[in-house]
Amino acid sequence: MNILIVEDEAEIADLIQLYLSKEGFNCHICRDGNTALERFKEIQPDLMILDLMLPGLDGLEVCARIRQQRLIKDPYIMMLTAKGEEIDRIIGLSTGADDYMVKPFSPRELVARVRAVLRRSLRQGGQNPSNQYQTAHFTLDVDRRLAYRQVASNKSEAEGAHNTDTLELTPLEFDLLTTFMSYPGRVWNRTQLIEKLWGNDFFGDERVVDAHIARLRKKIEPDPAAPSFIKTVVGVGYRFEDVPAADRVS
């Protein structure tokens, strides 16, 4: 796994590199936002560790520009932030980041999070022999990491014709939807979703789940305020509901 570390404080960057290299990850370091975008193109990393405050373009801008590129293989992006920096925005993950850590963090914690990303991307491969999940409204191609949605086409709604939209999901949103679609109807509490997506060694705030659910709903629900697919189960958590693909009206 290729990792790009974007951090202007040399000691922190070197420490991260030291710990991740020991785990066998292939690390590259750069120290400012513009260089990060150039190096990103060359290296095509699986994971970026991206400091928020950087010379030139800051971490939020770098993250936004990478997400705009609509890549086939989107990287996981973990933001680093000091306490007091735009932490609310990052927790809300309106930035397109998949995860965040607050400085000072322990390098072991960082390693645990990176391992969780790796486990998650390996595990996603093995759940279903065809590596496709399909319901009446959604199709996930897990190997190619593509998600599609069926929408009734305006012109020929009367004839029941449908268009297929490609959904623009971040890696974490894709994994979340895969988790839901792999067990339709199952009720997940936040702890179970965290275990599934981050692993048991997650440190931090369970609200991160709600933030990701809110973002995913915005992308897949016709009316995110009254979700028809990702239902809230009051006092418990969330459940994905859709009609089986066989019953799709077409």
Q: Which residues bind Ca ion (CB under 5 A)?
A: 8, 51, 53
- Of residues 103 and 190, the one with the C-beta less far from Ca ion: 103
For residue 100, the cross-strand partners are 79
The smaller minimum CB distance to Ca ion, of residues 32 and 210, is found at 32
The nearer residue to Ca ion, 58 or 175, going by C-beta atoms, is 58
Whichever of 79 and 93 has its CB closer to Ca ion, that residue is 79
Shortest separation between residue 8's beta carbon and Ca ion, angstroms: 5
Least spacing, CB of residue 122 vs Ca ion, in Å: 31
* Three-state secondary structure string covering 167-232: CCCCHHHHHHHHHHHHCCCCEEEHHHHHHHHHCCCCCCCCHHHHHHHHHHHHHHCCCCCCCCCEEE
**Which structure tokens are listed for 241?**
């509901």
CB of 99 to Ca ion, least distance (A): 18
Q: Which residue is nearest to Ca ion (CB)?
A: 53
Rg (CA), the chain: 19
| 8 A C-beta contact, residue 45 and residue 75 | yes
Q: How far is the CB of 1 from Ca ion (least distance, A)?
A: 24
